[in-house]
Every structure is written in structure tokens, then in C-alpha cells.
Structure 1
Amino acid sequence: MELGAPLVQVDTGEVEQRVARLPRVDSVRVRRSLPGTVEISVSERTPVLVVQREDGTHLVDGTGHDFSTLDAAPAGLPALEPTDAAATTAAAVAVSALPEQLTALVASVAAPSPVDIRFTLVDGRVVRWGGQEASAHKAAILGPLLSQPGKTYDVAAPDFPTIAG
């Protein structure tokens, strides 16, 4: 498409596809409004985890999508120990289910497998999350559970949470 071409010749689908290929773009919508406007609405990906790799610090969104590499980790995001794609996705889904005040307590995340997710909190306590299923339910019970003394909080079976230590 040439600069100055008539608006009716703008292929909005092609524009959407081109913008959607940008790594930080989560979703895009392109609308044409005659006589002379093209509106592009973009929703950016929101990082929920960082993963340290040889080439830098990777930002991961709530779907497990690795969308950006930085020189240093931004403050306030839990660090995920490097793992495979399925476990990264499960961990990202689990972390994104947490309310903001609980996310702030999570220092790091380990996910050796998609069904073995664990959070280490900034104070050293550990949360055994299990898999990503029922994450909203697990997040809802975790807050009150953390108000009780203990070292390990297990919400893998959210109907039967336990505290140890």
C-alpha cells in the first residue's frame, strides 16, 4: 500500500496481521472510518513472569508467551526457573490467577512439570500450587491461608488445603 492511497484500498486485515506480528502486541483491531480515518486499537501483552536465560531476561505473559528480552529484570515480577514450554504456560496461568497483593509476595516460581508448580514467597515460605487447573479457586483460598502460621502451604487440592511447619 502506497502512502496517500485511497482509504478504501487499505486492507484492514493485512494491517491487523502486520501489527499482530509485533512481539508485544496481544491483540489488535483495525477499523476504517470514511472519509479519512484508520483506527488501530492495540492491547499490549502484560508480563507476569521473568525467565533468566543466556541471552537475557525474558518477559512471559499470562498465557506463557515469551514476548520480550531485556538486559535486566524489571522489579516486581516473579522469576521462573527455566523449564519447558508446557510448564512455563502452566506457571504463567497460575501466577496470572493471583490477585495483585498476592503476586507481590511471590519471589520465584518453580515448575519442573505442568502439574508441579511451586511459589517461593519473599519471606521464604513455599506454596505448593500443583497444576494450573482451578487456579482461580486456589488463589481465592491462598490469601486467608497465608494469614496462618506455617512454612509450606499446599493448595494443590484446593478443597483440602494444608499448612505444614
Structure 2
Amino acid sequence: MIIRPALPADAAALAEIYNHAVLNTVALLMNDTVDAANRAAWMEARQADGLPVLVAEEDEQVIGYTSYGPWRPFHGFCDTVEHSVYVRHDLRGRGTGHQLLAALIDHARAAGLHVMIAAVTAGNDASIKLHERHGFEITARMPQVGQKFGQWLDLIFLQLRLDARDAP
């Protein structure tokens, strides 16, 4: 498996991975699927802003992806990012998420960022454990702030301090 920057040719695979999560999980509190053009535009916008979109590739197929973006749209939060990690549904549990998250953390540290945040739907124990394995700590639980498939969902926030700066 290799981790590399995403290319426009990866857009269809990203859409497939994303859409499976939309249609079958509560990992994304979205109802609308996307197409390859949407993911290509999303990638282009992220990369134009200097944000990473990384993919895991195995046997010349994209099997997962990750990215981070601004936590909040205010200057005071400029050193904090929120990220997502997606792995193809039939290939989970093989270390792909671990490798993607490790590469993304390395990227964030190299970019001089201070904090990385994950928002994980309660009950997604595999994601919580993945993040804790990388040093993330649970910092908040927000009960019933989301909904999907006819149920209220809690959101758990985890965060990782990327550097030891005492002041910005």
C-alpha cells in the first residue's frame, strides 16, 4: 500500500467510497450522494487552498482517502483543523485508516498546525480506537446533535495536540 496525494483520476473512487458511507453508515450525517465531478471539484478546491487530500492505493486501486480543513472560519482558529478518514467498506480493518491518519498527522505537523480535531458519531468504536491509538483524546460528547436513519445521534470530539507550543 502506498499513501500519495490524490489526483483528478482518483475522483470516481473517492465518490464511491464516500457514497457507500452516506448510504450505509452514520459516519457521515449526509443524505445526498456525489459524483466524480463533485469529488474532483472538492479535491481541486482543497488543494488550491494548500490543504491535503491523500489516498491509499493498493494494486493500482484507491482504497481510502483522508483530508483536513479549517475547524472554524475565524482567524483565531487558523492553527486548528478538522479531518476525515474514509476506507473502502470491504477493506476496513487492514490498517489502511491507520496509515492514512499517520500520513495526515505528519502533514499537519509539517504545516505547523497546532491541533487536529475528529468528530466521530458515538458508537463508531473502530474510529474512536483508531484516533486514540494516534494519541487523540476525547474532549467532548454532544448528545443528540445529529440525526440519520430515524435516530438521534451523539457526536464525540477527539483532539490531538500536534506540537508543544505554549503560545501561537
Q: With the length of structure 2 as denominator, give the TM-score of the two structures.
A: 0.30
Higher helix share: 2
